[in-house]
Chain A
Amino acid sequence: DAGITQSPRHKVTETGTPVTLRCHQTENHRYMYWYRQDPGHGLRLIHYSYGVKDTDKGEVSDGYSVSRSKTEDFLLTLESATSSQTSVYFCAMAAAGVNNEQFFGPGTRLTVL
């Protein structure tokens, strides 16, 4: 968890409302990632960033958008939350590309009622 934080850590919201999760890192790492964790699925990549303003989709990107205006911050937005987006969300960072260790944040537990 060193050098990477997530906020909020827990959130309960209602269907149809927008939600933004924040990931903040202090390591000046180039790569940042958003994953969701669901039982039986491991972690699945939502979106990732390979630099400021440079982002790309992962395998489960529908219903999510991201922004990275500064190296240290990577925001995940659910434009209109649905119950299927109830999950634990993890942010990760890496100094270099996919063959390198990713460092994970502590997670955000999101419940959509």
Chain B
Amino acid sequence: AQSVTQLDSHVSVSEGTPVLLRCNYSSSYSPSLFWYVQHPNKGLQLLLKYTSAATLVKGINGFEAEFKKSETSFHLTKPSAHMSDAAEYFCVVSDPSWGKLQFGAGTQVVVTP
């Protein structure tokens, strides 16, 4: 069975400071991993994905994530938060044997001036 745990339901950062969103996963197989972002009243948009190539993955809007197999983690980071980063972020794991995506519960990011 596969599962995804986002360790923080809410994260508050000041504009210009680093952002860290934590995600741990479990999977019986080598998974593909994604981060999606959802702005208020919008659908989800892909930030980045890991599919067994480079362990450090760069995405859109300055975000990046590092796949650490030994820690079963896929944490999302950004060096400097912008007001437009305020949104909900979802860590997602796919398992080809199951053929579907498993979403984490989400992390709400608040950016203060």
Interface of A is mostly: loop
The residues in A between 41 and 68 inclusive whose CB is less than 8 angstroms from any CB of B are: 41-45, 48, 58-59
Residues of A within 8 A of B106 (CB): 42
If over half of B's interface residues share one DSSP class (helix, strand or loop), that class is named, otherwise mixed; here it is: strand
Check if B44 sits within 8 Å of A99, measured CB to CB: no
Which of A43, A59, A92, A105: most chain B CB closer than 10 A?
Answer: A43
How extensive is the interface on chain B, given as a class?
20 to 34
How many angstroms from the CA of A90 to the CA of B43 in the assembled complex?
A: 7
Write out the residue numbers on chain A whose beta carbons fall within 8 Å of the beta carbon of B100: 45, 48, 58-59, 98
Q: Choose among A42, A59, A98, A105 the residue that contacts B90 (Cβ–Cβ < 8 A).
A: A42
Residues of B close to A45: CB separation below 8 A: 100-101
Interface residues of B in 95-109 (CB under 8 A from A): 95-96, 98-101, 103-106
